[in-house]
Amino acid sequence: MNFERINEKLSILADAAKYDVSCSSSGSNRKNKNKGLGDASGMGICHSYTEDGRCVSLLKILLTNVCIYDCAYCVTRKSNDIKRAAFTVQEVVDLTINFYRRNYIEGLFLSSGIFKDANTTMERLVAVAKKLRLEQNFNGYIHLKSIPGATDELMKEAGLYADRLSVNLELPTVEGLKLLAPDKNRQDMINPMTFVKNEIILYQDEKRRFKKSPKFAPGGQSTQMIIGATPETDLQIIHTANDFYKDFNLKRVYYSGYIPVSQDARLPSLQSQVPMLRENRLYQADWLMRFYGFRADEILDVKKPFLELDVDPKLGWALRNLDFFPLNIQTADFHAILRIPGVGVKSAWKIVEGRKFTKLNLQHLQKMGVAVNRAQHFISFANSFIKTNLLQQHNLKDIILGTVKSKYQTHYSAQLSLF
């Protein structure tokens, strides 16, 4: 093995892969069998993140950064004058095994530029996963990018060897795609997603009936959208995400703030980087839809198509819907409790369980992990004065953000300091 050349390829292809944010815990539970290497069980894999929030615990590389397409937002586009490189299938297999043995990684995230056509590229990606599983008995986590336009047969093989598959949607709307990636079309992305969704259901059903039948993409499928390269609003973005969650049973939608890569009249200027905060707010909105029972049209509407940057979307919703509050913590329904700012899913369950045995107060909530500095404004307790007073403060948002003091603050500090 020529180590210098491999090193060079690694630095080029790992650097090119950093723009893809769609890797994270899988929920997959592939076990170590036959004294093989690794496992991807239970908790999924562990991750650490670089400063800019990219996942680094997987070996995250491109098979090649040679690409026949010219997507304007992409550093790998064919018209970009950059150094190109390509791994062989065996090189990726060897790197994965060597890094795994050294404890550098827990799995592989493999994507690729489209170097000849969709099928040839997908074939190589599948070959890596197949070799790792069958020849190296590797049971660690594998996330493969699915290449839009690849055949169902290849997608089927991919699902049998990989834990997770993902097709990047690239841009939130078809119009955005036409503008910046005119060679691509949404249907080529939807076809593999549909196939994977159906196969997952089929194999899960088989598994219920025949214990020994294989798993198909046990970590499910995910996708990624680039935010801020095209002028879509947050409203459009969360509606797209919502539709794809529903239609394709996606495990995750990832939002990747556009990083300026070229001077192109179709793109925002090189100076206008998407604030990380916008990305965070989209993740929070996404979380609300998946775990807190919010509908996309409750989070944003046409009159207010962008998420506020100064408050998270749940607090924003609560401030716009004060009529919904205060909620009596002793009697409110679980789904209503989930809507209280400062209450997470776990603490909502604790509240429902805890109130069976006692009358809850602020201190109980604090111990349950509730962010009481926020929640206190939206709840009421039996015999409490909170019910009528806190919500009526005209500058509630500023009080919660801590820019002004509440006239009731001393009272609460005193209550909490008793414990």
Q: Closer to ligand SF4 at the Cβ: 64 or 242?
A: 64
Burial class of residue 48 (count of CB atoms within 10 Å of its CB; 0-12, 13-18, 19+): exposed
Task: For the CB of residue 9, give the shortest distance to ligand SF4 in the complex, in Å.
Answer: 16
412/391 Cα distance (integer angstroms): 15
Helix runs in 102-233, H state only: 118-130, 152-161, 174-180, 186-209
For residue 145, the minimal CB distance to ligand SF4 (Å) is 9
Contact segment (CB under 6 A) with ligand SF4 among 73-81, 125-133, 244-252, 342-350 equals: 73-81
At closest approach, how far in Å is the CB of 71 from ligand SF4? 3
List the one residue from 67, 127, 282, 370 that touches ligand SF4 (CB under 6 A): 67
Closer Cβ to ligand SF4, 15 or 94, answer by number: 15
How many residues sit close enough to ligand SF4 to count as binding (CB under 6 A)? 9
Residue 292's alpha-carbon distances to 84, 168, 254, in angstroms, are: 45, 25, 18
Please give the torsion angle defined by the CA atoms of residues 143, 147, 151 and 155, in that order, rounded to the nearest 10 degrees: 10
Closest by Cα among 165, 315, 173, 313 to 252: 165
Number of H helices, E strands in the chain: 17, 8
Report the site for ligand SF4 in 332-351 (rule: CB under 6 A): none
Query: Quick one: which segment of 48-56, 72-80, 151-159, 293-301 binds ligand SF4 (CB under 6 A)?
Result: 72-80
Here the tokens at position 147 are 């290449």
Query: What x/- string results for residues 75 through 94 when contact with ligand SF4 is judged by CB under 6 A?
Result: -xx-----------------
Cα–Cα distance measured from residue 299 to residue 293, given in angstroms and rounded to the nearest whole number: 11
Pick the closer one to ligand SF4 by CB: 72 or 338: 72
Nearer to ligand SF4 (CB atom), residue 177 or residue 362? 177
Closest approach of Cβ 88 to ligand SF4, in Å?
A: 19
71 binds ligand SF4 (CB under 6 A): yes
Among 40, 61, 108, 114, binds ligand SF4 (CB under 6 A): 114
Single out the residue of 232, 343, 320, 216 nearest to residue 278, CA to CA: 232
Which C-beta is closer to ligand SF4: that of 61 or that of 340? Answer: 61
Q: How far is the CB of 263 from ligand SF4 (least distance, A)?
A: 17
Given the rule CB under 6 A, which of 32-40, 67-75, 134-142, 171-179 is the region that contacts ligand SF4?
Answer: 67-75
Which one, 119 or 363, has the nearer CB to ligand SF4?
119
**148 SS3 class:** coil
Contact 63, 125 (CB under 8 A): yes
Kindly give the residue spans of alpha helices, DSSP state H, lying in 210-344: 234-248, 276-291, 296-299, 313-320, 334-337
SS3 content of the chain, % helix, strand, coil (to 5): 45, 10, 45
In whole angstroms, the minimum distance from the beta carbon of 114 to ligand SF4 comes to 5
The binding site for ligand SF4 (CB under 6 A) comprises 67, 69, 71, 74, 76-77, 113-114, 181
